[in-house]
Amino acid sequence: MDINEEFEEFEEEIFETFIERNPTMATHLGIHEHDHRLPEVTREKFVEDIELMEDWLEELKDFDQKELDRENKIAKKLGLHIFELRLFSMKELRQWEQAPNAPNLIGSSLLLLLKREFAPIEERLESIISRIEEVPRVLEEERSRLEDPVRLWIDMAIESAEQLPMLFKLVQMLAKEKGLGEEKLEKVNEATNKADEALEQYIDDLKDLRRDASEDYTIGEEKFEDLLEKRDLGYDSEEIHKIGEELLEEAKDDMKRYAEKIDSEGDVQKAVEKVESKTPENFGDALGWYEEGLEDAKDFIEENDLATIPEGEEIEVMETPEYMRNIIPFAAYISPAKFDETKKGIYVVTPPNEESNLSNYSYWDVRNTTVHEGYPGHHLQLAAATTNDDVFRIFSHATETVEGWAHYCEEMMKDHGFDDTPEARLIQSKDIVWRAARIIVDVRLSTGKMSFEEAVDYLVDNVGMDRQDAEKEVKRYTQNPAYQLSYLLGKKMIKELKEDVKEKMGDDFSEKFFHDTILYAGSVPMKYLREIFEKKIEES
């Protein structure tokens, strides 16, 4: 057998094993043979996962790089990157021992089946009920796995666990509405009652653990630097922190510059309030703005030849179904699944509790969001990524590329003339201030140089964020070191990549070539995007 065939067969074995062991991920990808199961979350399972990845890593290293074709050369490097990063996370950071995560796992496993319309809701409810029946097992497995848990993370898990019964009630209500019959309804009620009881015990157990739990959620400077190196970002923490400070000041200066064109006194706060005062008359108009924004952005891309729209993709804006509103307070984007027949993204928007309160749907916020979330942002990128069949590209989800792309698109579209107004630029700059602050907080918080309260204060003072919202933000940051810094850093890296590609290609460079190469490469780290560009340039 040819070495490239062996390599691709090895990739397929990895994929099949991974899917079998991770039913929630299978559902996410559009593989529905395991929709009735929740994953095993025992200590033994995590130890087996580590051993399995160590074996895969060694087997991957054995493939002679020189004998692989160009595509598989990149695939091998990407596979090594994925396994080494994941093993570092599991063996060195070890959050699986410290962070209770079962409520989030259960919630996301059920939501995927509720939100994705790959089959009739009656059929999906069968799988949902089966997963709810497995809730007690998952909660008990996780409880026995935890060692040295972090107090803040216990509190976060308790908060999530307290919300899950609402989701179970929604399932009960939906089953009744769809007329599943007495026998099925009895099965639903029995499953949800047992799940509720198990949750009560789980919460009590976590409260017991909380008394002696650790206060320290940081990973420290050494591990943070190691993590950045494993991520292949090309910067150390000091360099990234400096970038964050520079981008923060630039964005604040930009806000002042645009405010002068909007407010007679050049007052930034007054300018923001003025711009955000343009709200729809009713929720129906808000949905219309989203639909109009997506349509306008897509038309603009096609008319200006900025990117290739994949065949068969579409995005639908819809009012959040009533049974989902408790769990989606504002909006959510549901991406197309790799293996589902349709490549349809769904943007669900939740109406306000009171029709008169439409402050979250200001015109320029909606317009910027449709570029970021829709075209040519997340929806276009994730729809294009589903056309890629390489296993390691399917598994790859480099935040600096995914989020960096969406942020790059906000600026790129305006540079080409789409919504290039002081109002739109002001809102975009306001968002950049927030993302730059994230960089600074991420570095300081993860390394222990900033306390939780100091991080909250920083977001309140520099971003103008509501204190309660800032606390929610920082809680998430503590569990995701080096993640939040990826957003704006990724945009910077894409812009630098663009300049390098322009220099190499000269007059042959085109915006469409640059954008398509990123879109159809999959969500791979920037380091490997550069290699993909080198290959494309050589072939052109």
The answer to whether residue 498 sits within a structural domain is no
Q: Is the pLDDT of residue 325 over 90?
A: no
Domain that holds residue 251: 223-487
3-state secondary structure of 316: strand
The answer to whether residue 40 sits within a structural domain is yes
Residues 19, 524: Cα–Cα separation, whole Å: 20
Q: In the structure, what pLDDT confidence band is assigned to residue 334 with cuts at 50, 70 and 90?
A: confident
pLDDT of residue 222: 97
Mean pLDDT of all residues belonging to the chain: 94
Q: Is the pLDDT of residue 38 over 90?
A: yes
Residues 329, 353: Cα–Cα separation, whole Å: 9
Residues 223, 220: Cα–Cα separation, whole Å: 6
Q: What angle do CA 40, 383, 306 make, to 5 degrees?
A: 150
Same domain, 89 and 161: yes
Share of the chain above pLDDT 90, in %: 86
Q: What is the pTM of this model?
A: 0.93
Last residue of a domain, one of 210, 237, 261: 210
The answer to whether residue 524 sits within a structural domain is no
The answer to whether residue 504 sits within a structural domain is no
Q: Is the pLDDT of residue 327 over 70?
A: no
Same domain, 133 and 243: no
pLDDT of residue 296: 98
Same domain, 236 and 205: no
pLDDT of residue 75: 96
pLDDT of residue 452: 97
Q: Are 436 and 251 in contact (CB under 8 A)?
A: yes
Q: Total structural domains in the chain?
A: 2
Same domain, 129 and 261: no
Same domain, 272 and 245: yes
The answer to whether residue 280 sits within a structural domain is yes
Q: In the structure, what pLDDT confidence band is assigned to residue 329 with cuts at 50, 70 and 90?
A: low
Rg (CA), the chain: 24
Segment 160-171 shows an average pLDDT of: 92
Contacts of 430 (CB under 8 A, 6+ apart): 251, 255, 272
Same domain, 322 and 350: yes
Q: In the structure, what pLDDT confidence band is assigned to residue 127 with cuts at 50, 70 and 90?
A: very high
Same domain, 313 and 359: yes
Segment 260-275 shows an average pLDDT of: 95
Same domain, 175 and 234: no
pLDDT of residue 205: 97
Same domain, 281 and 139: no
Q: Is the pLDDT of residue 538 over 80?
A: yes
Same domain, 380 and 276: yes
3-state secondary structure of 314: strand
Largest CA distance in the chain: 74
pLDDT of residue 357: 78
Same domain, 186 and 267: no
Last residue of a domain, one of 210, 245, 262: 210
pLDDT digits (tens, 9 = 90+) for 418-432: 999 999 999 999 999
Burial of 380 (0-12, 13-18, 19+ CB in 10 A): buried
pLDDT of residue 348: 86
Q: Is the pLDDT of residue 1 over 90?
A: no
Q: Is the pLDDT of residue 124 over 80?
A: yes
pLDDT digits (tens, 9 = 90+) for 350-370: 888 777 678 889 999 999 999
Residues 527, 442: Cα–Cα separation, whole Å: 22
3-state secondary structure of 273: helix
Burial of 212 (0-12, 13-18, 19+ CB in 10 A): exposed
Other residues' Cβ atoms within 10 Å of the Cβ of residue 417: 9
Segment 128-154 shows an average pLDDT of: 97
pLDDT digits (tens, 9 = 90+) for 301-320: 999 999 999 998 999 998 88
The answer to whether residue 25 sits within a structural domain is yes
pLDDT of residue 326: 58
Q: Are 317 and 325 in contact (CB under 8 A)?
A: no
